[in-house]
Amino acid sequence: MDQQYSMTLGRPLGISGIGDCPPPEPLTTDPTIMRLFTYISQFTVLARQILSSDALTNAKIDVFTDKLLRLKDTLPDVIQFDATWLDENKPIPEWPLEAQAAVFYGKTQNFLILLNRQRIENTRRDSNDSAISVQSPDEPPTDSDNVPRGRERVIESCRALLTVFQFFHTRVRSAMICWTMGQQAFNAAMILTLAMLETADEKDLGIVHNAYHIFAEMNQKGIHKLAGVALEKLGNFLKGLNSRDCPLGSVMGATGMLLLEDPGLQGFIPEEFAPLNFQMAGGDIPLTNVGAGWAAQGTGAGSSRGDSQGMRQKARGVATAGSRARPLVPAKKSTLSYSPH
């Protein structure tokens, strides 16, 4: 082979100007932005793995929990959510970093709740589970945040979500128009209310009431339609807490969360059937008997019988327009004159 066209590391030799261009520079060299992009990519992959996993065992839940918490710690310091940001006198990062920090933190806590609500505690798993052990309620294993796994992890993540919700309401009010955080806060408040109903320990009643008042304000000001639904459902749970009438549901043993956008809250008004209309030569033809054929429509233009009659009438010198016949206008003959040779 001619050395002029031989390739070495993807660069042609002996051809001036080809392969000498430097590689494209990255869009940004800011280490904070690059770490943020890396976090988003890794979080997306991890979230898809969690959502696509079926029949999660305790061991798998522990693995995913640890991955989520370790990934959260890789965020730059400027995007690490801090609960002390609720103090209005404390400086916070500029927009949109403060909102991003709260959103990422809330997403992590939401996945931790989804995962750990599915744990089976104090019960021997089947033989296919690699973590066959009876967990002691006195010494439960802890995650990387030093929070006991299982129920305590769920409760702690619910508190964290309501803290984020309060942060948005206090310091980034413009972000309240997005219902994603509202949905997460609603689920957290419902779970905490269930926990209080199960244990009669009302130490979380204050933050749940705070979320209730935020939903009430959102509903009053028309910030989001679903705020009214959240207000009603959460209000019913709080009434059950006062009367000790426990509604259906439990903190643990659930594989999902109550979505306010579920099909039970959606509906539609059936519309009257309107047949199709085609604009054809001669007028509108209603398709009222398509199954029997258009020949059943009469002699209107566009029907099979009308078309056949129309052709016969044209042959006799008339044309049809709907059901009314009119004479054909004969074409004017043109006279051609040829110059004599």
Contact yes or no for 139/148 (Cβ under 8 A): no
Instruction: Judge whether 175 and 181 are in contact, CB under 8 Å.
Output: yes
pLDDT of 176 over the 60 cut: yes
| Residue 301 pLDDT | 44
pTM, rounded to two decimals: 0.64
Instruction: Confirm if 338 and 327 have CB atoms less than 8 A apart.
Output: no
Measure the CA–CA gap between 234 and 237, rounded to whole angstroms.
Answer: 5
What is the DSSP secondary-structure string of 239-282?
Answer: HHHHHT-PPS--SSS-SS---TTSGGG---PPPPP---EEEETT
Average per-residue pLDDT in the chain?
A: 73
What values do phi and psi take at 150, rounded to 5?
85, -130
High-pLDDT (> 90) share of the chain, %: 37
Residues 35-52: what's their mean pLDDT? 91
Q: Is the predicted pLDDT of residue 307 greater than 60, yes or no?
A: no
* Beta strands at 318-321 and 324-327: parallel, antiparallel or unpaired: antiparallel
% the chain with pLDDT above 70: 59
Q: What is the C-alpha radius of gyration for the chain, rounded to an integer number of angstroms?
A: 35
Question: Quick one: pLDDT band at residue 78, thresholds 50, 70, 90?
Answer: confident
Residues 6+ away with beta carbon under 8 Å from 148: 140, 141, 142
User: Letter for the amino acid at 288?
Assistant: T
Q: What is the pLDDT of residue 306?
A: 47
Tens digit of each residue's pLDDT (9 = 90 or more) over 252-295:
877 777 677 644 444 445 555 555 554 444 555 555 554 444 44
Predicted confidence at residue 4, as pLDDT, reads: 40
Pick 24 or 105 by higher pLDDT. Answer: 105
Looking at the predicted structure, is the pLDDT value of residue 226 above 70?
yes
Q: Give me the helix-helix angle, 97-116 and 58-72, nearest 10°.
A: 170
From the centroid of its chain, how far is CA 94?
A: 27
**What is the predicted pLDDT for the residue at 319?**
46
Which of these ranges, 55-59, 190-194, 332-336, has the smallest mean pLDDT? 332-336
Q: Quote the tokens at residue 69.
A: 């918490």
What confidence score (pLDDT) does residue 252 get? Answer: 83
Query: Hey, CA dihedral for 249, 255, 259, 261, is it positive or negative?
Result: negative
In whole angstroms, give the CA distance from residue 187 to residue 175: 18
- Residue of higher predicted confidence among 129 and 199: 199
Interval 2-40: pLDDT, tens: 444 333 333 333 333 434 455 445 455 778 788 888 999
